[in-house]
Structure 1
């Protein structure tokens, strides 16, 4: 971006929010302001974001368990699929001319033709078949794009831009008589009791997104009510990352971007898969594409997000067959075919509650039902059994561990699907352990209350029960 020497610069602009909108706004305003302060609530300048390599950022992105993990807790939708229109891509390249080369050479990103490499359907109509002009689709996830843009902003405008991250704006500084906003009040996000500071600026821009506090501030300071319209339509979505594999359908394998839109009320579900990285592989069945897969809905017809197997089963029943085909070929960490765990091999219980054998018997009976249904392929038995057996296990687990969770010396060791181990330990003396306290789920607390109620009722009627038994024996 070129600067014109005859443009008079203002002194100080304050941008609230350091996400995509804040980054681009700050880059534009650097032409007109001598200095810019970006106030950001998340820790966006940590070493993971700013110093990690491309592969490390991708690995970190794939391991994130939830939006509240280290990263962008203030922008929960950052992990979902995003589309950048060609005009938006053009704007980024104007602001950051080196961006394209860095994305292509350092991050294995590329653009895709909406005319020849895309298959977008709506109501059975192929939307991109008659395009008179081609458009580029940038194959990147928002999480990576935001990190790269922030690096470029800091590199290009380091002397003009000051970041205040882990910082929360609490109010505006105003002059009501002049009807002007003169600055902001802010404090540390980490400590709600921290001191509040004032910052003055010539111009303030709110880029904090959908959770903005501006309506509240404007009403409080100027008695200004911003008209709003809320439309609730039961929107939901599930997104995950996986490798694209050949489906033996040329029309699918040749398209890097595949999707079908929602057409409510006739069709309340849709899907899309978009590439985010080009990967090197020796697998001949791989398309060499790491993609983001997204399923969306309206009218509250939410897709399941508890397991890949459940999502796959739901996809088979609710989405177009082509998307189900793509997902079955997706290289995720799936349970192997023709192999299951049963009984204690799947879950071991406190022997005092005598559930082990019955648990194994019920699962064995469920396995027999599966084979007896005679409608499943052998290779599908394992993942169908896991889904059904887990329901049995969950019942037994809740029943047997409800009282165990009351133990004052309880220790819980969790290992997630990535092999990461977390230890929780309860102790009356907080100095005895460096581990966080385990917290019982709502269902676990319910079971504890339920068990206590049953115990109390049995105790109250104990004598009556004995008498009844004696009468029956006579």
Structure 2
């Protein structure tokens, strides 16, 4: 199916990370871009009601940071000047793995940490400054405007001034987990797309802390203690962020009993290995305990839907959502925006974009992150896994158990985690043999709480 007959006006539904990145790309090809958001934008950096996950630790992987920097030159420097620290992943991360903690390992992999609302605030300001872009908040998209069953020509909206219609040559659904696109497609006579879900029933509880005057921050920049079925059902993420603050997310699998109060939060942290509990015991909380449990992995097979209408594409969490534990969402959104740019710039002048081809190529982008997230999460579901899932889990567990005593393997795994290298990196016989041999007895570093 072909999208549009011109490149005059694009509408983007949703001003989260995927929507902001898409609007930035579209501003190079369309004369006008309207970015519609149901929430009212906060004046400063603050979580939005439509993005409750903003209260929790977010990570922008190294590849995602590189892509965003390309679209917003000077972004890293701007964030750093505003207080978001930059540090080397191998040197600044305290990784509490099931089989030990890797020693500091310089990797030359710069990472920047910040809160999700802060990054979104800065990107929103950058996008608003783009001449073709208009941001409209407090506006809900209620449906698609069509010219026959096979062509989308805009959206219907509802706001404080009542209902209205907005014409568009291209509509981009970036409305996230709450997307109503399957229902809208049904009104066009299309069948329901197949949807795959994997739910480890992971829950989060988060809060931020400040350092008392004169107190030195910890020697690490981030703490990572991942979950792993069936034995390691509690973990955490902690990162130093803007405003000299520490952001801590505690998480658990299999319907965990998450903390509500100050005392419960600290008590949960004390059940973990590593330095988080000792650190926060001496800090001042600056937020309430916030909980979150919408962590199911969900992938909608729009790429297999026959009869995809003209004038429409979907990306971001509208198409594929990941358990936030793996930190992939923002980076995948950046890669999808890059795909959109490539397909727009690859056309001849005034040549329509093939929307169905876009969905198919987007599915290839999400395939590897989907496996990275769902293979370990399937181990929590209780059903008997297929042999490919069992083999994948065995290999990943073996790899992670070997990492604490092998700096080269730790570096390769970190590149895979940050998506700067693909899975074939581990096919190097020198690395693969070390994974298959596994950790050597007597050489496993102990995890301490200091």
TM-score class, shorter = 0.5 to 0.7
Equivalent in the alignment of 2:139: 167
Equivalent in the alignment of 2:272: 319
Counterpart CA distance in 2 for 1:244 and 1:113 is: 22
Q: 1:128 to 1:300 in 2, by over 3 A?
A: farther
Task: Report the number of matched residues.
Answer: 282
Counterpart CA distance in 2 for 1:89 and 1:333 is: 27
Q: Does 2:72 match 1:112?
A: no
Q: For residue 240 of structure 1, report the CA deviation from its aligned partner.
A: 0.7
Counterpart CA distance in 2 for 1:112 and 1:174 is: 49
Equivalent in the alignment of 2:218: 253
Equivalent in the alignment of 2:250: 295
Spell out the pairing of 1:349-428 with structure 2 (5 A cutoff): none
Q: Does 2:239 match 1:263?
A: no
Q: 1:209 to 1:198 in 2, by over 3 A?
A: same
Counterpart CA distance in 2 for 1:113 and 1:300 is: 34
Q: Does 2:54 match 1:78?
A: yes
SS in 1 for 2:24: helix
Deviations along 1:151-193, whole A, 9 cap, x unmatched? 11112x1x2111221000011112345x1211111110x5xxx
Counterpart CA distance in 2 for 1:19 and 1:215 is: 20
Equivalent in the alignment of 2:181: 214
Deviations along 1:200-251, whole A, 9 cap, x unmatched? 11111111111101011111223331111233322111111113589x9x9x
Q: 1:153 to 1:128 in 2, by over 3 A?
A: farther
Q: Is the 2:91–2:105 Cα contact (8 Å) retained in structure 1?
A: no
Equivalent in the alignment of 2:74: 98
Q: Is the 2:141–2:158 Cα contact (8 Å) retained in structure 1?
A: yes
Equivalent in the alignment of 2:32: 35
Equivalent in the alignment of 1:205: 172
Structure 2, unmatched stretches of 5+, are 288-450
Q: 1:117 to 1:321 in 2, by over 3 A?
A: closer
Q: For residue 141 of structure 1, report the CA deviation from its aligned partner.
A: 0.5
Deviations along 1:292-312, whole A, 9 cap, x unmatched? 01101111113212x111221
Q: Is the 1:118–1:128 Cα contact (8 Å) retained in structure 2?
A: no
Q: Is the 2:201–2:254 Cα contact (8 Å) retained in structure 1?
A: yes
Q: For residue 100 of structure 1, report the CA deviation from its aligned partner.
A: 2.5
Q: Is the 1:257–1:275 Cα contact (8 Å) retained in structure 2?
A: yes
Aligned residue among 150, 154, 174 for 1:183: 154
Q: Does 2:306 match 1:332?
A: no
Q: Does 2:200 match 1:226?
A: no
Q: For residue 102 of structure 1, report the CA deviation from its aligned partner.
A: 2.0
Q: For residue 314 of structure 1, report the CA deviation from its aligned partner.
A: 2.7
SS in 1 for 2:279: helix
Aligned residue among 14, 32, 40 for 2:11: 14
Counterpart CA distance in 2 for 1:150 and 1:278 is: 19
Q: CA RMSD in A?
A: 2.6
Equivalent in the alignment of 1:448: none
SS in 2 for 1:115: helix
SS in 1 for 2:31: strand
**Higher radius of gyration, 1 or 2:** 1
Aligned residue among 145, 149, 158 for 2:123: 149
Counterpart CA distance in 2 for 1:128 and 1:170 is: 53
Equivalent in the alignment of 2:434: none
Counterpart CA distance in 1 for 2:274 and 2:87 is: 24
Counterpart CA distance in 2 for 1:326 and 1:187 is: 47
SS in 2 for 1:263: coil
Aligned residue among 219, 230, 236 for 2:203: 236
SS in 2 for 1:274: strand
Counterpart CA distance in 2 for 1:124 and 1:324 is: 20
Equivalent in the alignment of 2:21: 24
Q: For residue 125 of structure 1, report the CA deviation from its aligned partner.
A: 3.4
Q: For residue 109 of structure 1, report the CA deviation from its aligned partner.
A: 1.7
Counterpart CA distance in 2 for 1:187 and 1:150 is: 22
Q: For residue 264 of structure 1, report the CA deviation from its aligned partner.
A: 1.8
| 85-94 vs 116-125, which moves further | 116-125
